[in-house]
Each structure stands twice: as C-alpha cells, then as structure tokens.
Amino acid sequence: MPVKIPRVPLVAVLAAVVAAAALLTGPSPLRAPASAGMVRMPAAVPATQSPAPATPPASAPASAPPVTARPGIGAGLPGATPVGSLPPVVDHGPRTGNKVALTFDADMTDAMRRQLRSGAVRSYANLKIIDLLERERVPATFFLTGMWVEQYPALTRRLAANPRFELANHTYGHLAFTPDCYGLPRVPEREMTADVARTFDLVAGYGGRQTRYFRFPGLCHDRKALAALAPLGLTVVDGDVVSGDPFATSWRPVVRAALTGVRPGSVIILHVTEANAPMTDEALPHILAGLAERGLEPAPLSEVLGQG
C-alpha cells in the first residue's frame, strides 16, 4: 500500500474547522482530516505494556462486566494484524482500479444517550441512508460504537444481515484516546484496550461481515494509543476524504467535500448519526451520482484496501 501522504481537499479542511467549532455547543464531535497515507509500525510491544484486566470504561453502565483483550481473536478477518505489534494506520487503498469505500461512523456518547432519553433528540440512526444503500445495492462499511449498538440492536442486526455491509469498531462510548481531541472526554490509558475489545465483542455477536478495522474518535491517536491497541491485532483506518457532514446545514458542501479530490482507493468518511449529521441522507444520492460520473464504484472497505 502507498505511503504517500494524501492531500485533503481545502473544502474538507474548512468544513472540519467549522464543524469543530460547532462541537463546542453540540453533543458529538467531528472527524479530523487524516494526516498520513499508511504508516506501518511493526515493532513488537513489550509484554509489560499489555494492560492487565481493566475495569469498564467510565462511560459504561455500572453493571457492565469488564472486557479484556483475548489474543488470537479476529485472526483471518479483514484488517487483522499480528498481536503485539503497533497497528498500521491506513488512509486509503492502492490508487489503481476504480473502487472507493463509503464508510459511515455511528457515534454515541453519554451526552447523546441522555439527549435521546430526555426526548430532546429523536434519533441518532439515519434510516434514510440505510434504506438508500439497500435499495441501490451499494456496499458500505459501518464503524459502530458499542453504545450505538446497544441503543439500536435491531438496526445493528439489519446491518449485519446485509452481505454488502461490513462492520467495524469505533470504540464503546466515543471517548478520546489523546488529549485535546475536540473537547471529548478522555478514556483512561489503562482502559483503552478494554474499551475497544469490548466493542469488538459486542459487534461480533451480530455476525455478518466482521472486520478488525478500527477508527479513533476524531481520528485522534498517538503512539501510546496505538500501543494500547497492539494486543487486539487490528488495523486503524482514518480516511483521505473528509465529508464534513457533522452539523452541516446544507447538503451541497457535503457533496463538494466528498467528491473533491476523491480518487481510486479513497476512503470517504460520512456519518449515520441523524441528529448530528442531518444532511447526509440528502447528500448521499448526489455523492453516488458524482462517483459514477467519475467512473468510481463503491466497494467494501476490505476490497478497497486489498484485503477482501
């Protein structure tokens, strides 16, 4: 895979800046632009760095049992990497052919869950997006938070039942893995491994096209965060096309951001969290049409990365 650093379109960067500002008043953060093409760091992590069994993340319900890393889980799945090595960080696949990956983050935080329970927000699951993907038989990859899975189990089963959809990991409660990540509360370092392992376990229970792909909230990660995930044998997926759909007030900028600079092998970042990304369902038909005009075809992430 290429190591060349991609150039994120200016419109995507501007969209990310605007949405990051909106984060200060909104309940859920925006993805940051990707910073690297693909970085492989195969150095083994000393056994002393593998965390002991951890207590549940701060965002988990008090009754939830702790979940710890189990070596060997996920072997043979797309994105699986050697346990004990720093995970590779991938922005895009090979710049050949005509395949691109549509990826949808399903965020859920404690604050978002409170909004649902209070009735202040109707839904963080955009069914119009899923309806369109199913109707048009479009492949997609969903990065699910464990909390979102718990909130929408029937919808998760629906995603898992579609052979064109892949399921990936976006943490349990969308906590930050680095300081200063768009104002997100931070998961303690000692609980990082358990947080991600717990979500893999939750998602695995639904079957379907499972992967060992993982995306950090806000795309915020550093060497400590990667080291914490080394016991889980996964691949970190950022993306090279940032749609800027969180908190968008019009579908047109989302379409421009998604199509400007898209190339073979691109990984497009979108959201399925309806209340926090209300324009995505309106933008998606135009994005699909624009990809077709460019001769580009959506495919599962594993196929785009050459691992399917």
pLDDT digits (tens, 9 = 90+) for 66-109: 434 444 557 799 999 999 999 999 999 999 999 999 999 999 99
The two structure tokens encoding residue 264: 């073979």
Task: Look at residue 224 in the predicted model and tell me its pLDDT.
Answer: 97
Torsion region of 213: left, alpha or beta (phi above 0 gives left; psi -120 to 50 gives alpha): beta
Count of alpha carbons within 13 Å of 265, Cβ hemisphere only?
Answer: 18
Task: Look at residue 73 in the predicted model and tell me its pLDDT.
Answer: 57
Cβ pair 163, 189 in contact under 8 A:
no
What is the distance of C-alpha 43 from the center of its chain? 25
Q: Kindly report which listed range (63-77, 110-124, 159-173, 232-246) carries the lowest average pLDDT score.
A: 63-77
132 has a pLDDT exceeding 60: yes
Its pTM stands at 0.79
Q: Which of 24-33, 37-46, 134-143 has the highest mean pLDDT?
A: 134-143
194-212 pLDDT per residue, tens = 999 999 999 999 999 999 9
227 has a pLDDT exceeding 80: yes
| Residue 112 one-letter amino acid | M
How would residue 46 be classed by pLDDT, with cut points 50, 70 and 90? very low
* pLDDT, averaged across the chain: 83
Rounded distance, CA 95 to CA 80, Å? Answer: 22
How would residue 53 be classed by pLDDT, with cut points 50, 70 and 90? very low
Q: Give percent above pLDDT 90 in the chain.
A: 75
39 has a pLDDT exceeding 90: no
63 has a pLDDT exceeding 80: no
Task: Look at residue 307 in the predicted model and tell me its pLDDT.
Answer: 82
246-271 pLDDT per residue, tens = 999 999 999 999 999 999 999 999 99
244 has a pLDDT exceeding 50: yes
Per DSSP, the three-state class of 108 is: coil
Torsion region of 174: left, alpha or beta (phi above 0 gives left; psi -120 to 50 gives alpha): left
Task: Look at residue 308 in the predicted model and tell me its pLDDT.
Answer: 66
Task: Look at residue 209 in the predicted model and tell me its pLDDT.
Answer: 98
